[in-house]
C-alpha cells in the first residue's frame, strides 16, 4: 500500500485516524504537529508532492478563498500591508496546484467560495455538513474528489439542531447548531486562534473521509487481484 499525504494539517486529526486504520499516512504543514507525532513533516508541502504518494487529502487555508470574505477584495482591503485580492490570488494558485498534483488520488477540502467557480476547481464533488455526520455544528464543507469515493451520509447519524424563530416575530422556525447564534452567525469571537479553530475538521467528517479512503483502497486491491 502506497503512503498517503494529509496536506496542510497540523492537528493530526485525519492522519491519526488513517494510521489507526492501517494506512501509512503522514501529515505536512509549515507548522509543527500539535500532537508531536513523528509522522508529521514540517515543510512547505509543495516541496514533497513528487515523492510518490498513493493519495493526498489537502486542506488549503480557506481564509482568503471563502465566499463570505470576497467582498473585501473589491473594496481594496489591505491585510498586513498587502491587498487582500493579492492574497486571494496566491491562495487560489496554491489550492489549484494541490488539485493538479502528480498524485493519482486527491481530495481537496474548502469552504463554499471561489474554488467552486468553473475556471478554478468547478462545482464541488460533494458538500457536507458536520451535523449530517453526527456533530452538533453547521459548516458547509466542500470536497473535490479525484479517484476517491465520496463520503457516505447516513440519515440516522444526523444531529438535529435547536429550533428557533428567526427573524424574531416572523413565525419562521429554523434549525441552529451549537456553533451558531440564533441569527445563524458563528459563535466564535475574534481571537488570535479564531481562523485555526474554525478550520479544524469535525470528528464526524474526519471519520467519514477516512472511511471513503479505506473504501477506495479496498477497491484498488480488488482490481489489482482480479
The mean pLDDT value for 123-130 works out to: 98
> Given this model, what pLDDT does residue 5 score?
98
Mean pLDDT score, 190-194: 46
pLDDT digits (tens, 9 = 90+) for 29-84: 999 999 999 999 999 999 999 999 999 999 999 999 999 899 999 899 999 999 99
Q: How confident is the model at residue 224 (pLDDT cuts 50, 70, 90)?
A: confident
Question: pLDDT tens-digit profile of 149-170?
Answer: 999 999 999 999 999 999 999 9
Residue at grid coordinates 488513517: 18
Is pLDDT of 183 > 60? yes
pLDDT computed for residue 162 by the predictor = 97
Q: What pTM, to 2 d.p., does this model score?
A: 0.92
Domains of the chain: 4-225 (3.40.50)
Question: What percent of the chain is predicted at pLDDT more than 90?
Answer: 88
- pLDDT of residue 195 exceeding 80, the answer is no
Amino acid at each position: 500500500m502506497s503512503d498517503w499525504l494529509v496536506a496542510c494539517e497540523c492537528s493530526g486529526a485525519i492522519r491519526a485516524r488513517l494510521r489507526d486504520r492501517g494506512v501509512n499516512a503522514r501529515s505536512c504543514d509549515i507548522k509543527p504537529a500539535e500532537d508531536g507525532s513523528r509522522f508529521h513533516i514540517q515543510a512547505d508541502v509543495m516541496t514533497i508532492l513528487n515523492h510518490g504518494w498513493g493519495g493526498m487529502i489537502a486542506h488549503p487555508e480557506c481564509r482568503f478563498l471563502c465566499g463570505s470574505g470576497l467582498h473585501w477584495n473589491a473594496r481594496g482591503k489591505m491585510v498586513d500591508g498587502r491587498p487582500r485580492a493579492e492574497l486571494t490570488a496566491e491562495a487560489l494558485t496554491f489550492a489549484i496546484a494541490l488539485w493538479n498534483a502528480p498524485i493519482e488520488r486527491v481530495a481537496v477540502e474548502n469552504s463554499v467560495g471561489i474554488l467552486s467557480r468553473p475556471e478554478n476547481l468547478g462545482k464541488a464533488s460533494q458538500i457536507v455538513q458536520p451535523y449530517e455526520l453526527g456533530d452538533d455544528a453547521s459548516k458547509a464543507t466542500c470536497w473535490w474528489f479525484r479517484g476517491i469515493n465520496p463520503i457516505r451520509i447516513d440519515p440516522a447519524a444526523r444531529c438535529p439542531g435547536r429550533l428557533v424563530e428567526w427573524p424574531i416575530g416572523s413565525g419562521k422556525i429554523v434549525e441552529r447548531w451549537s456553533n451558531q447564534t440564533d441569527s445563524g452567525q458563528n459563535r466564535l469571537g475574534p481571537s488570535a486562534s479564531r481562523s485555526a479553530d474554525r478550520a479544524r475538521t469535525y470528528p464526524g467528517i474526519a471519520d467519514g473521509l477516512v472511511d471513503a479512503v479505506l473504501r477506495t483502497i479496498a477497491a484498488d486491491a480488488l482490481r489489482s487481484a482480479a
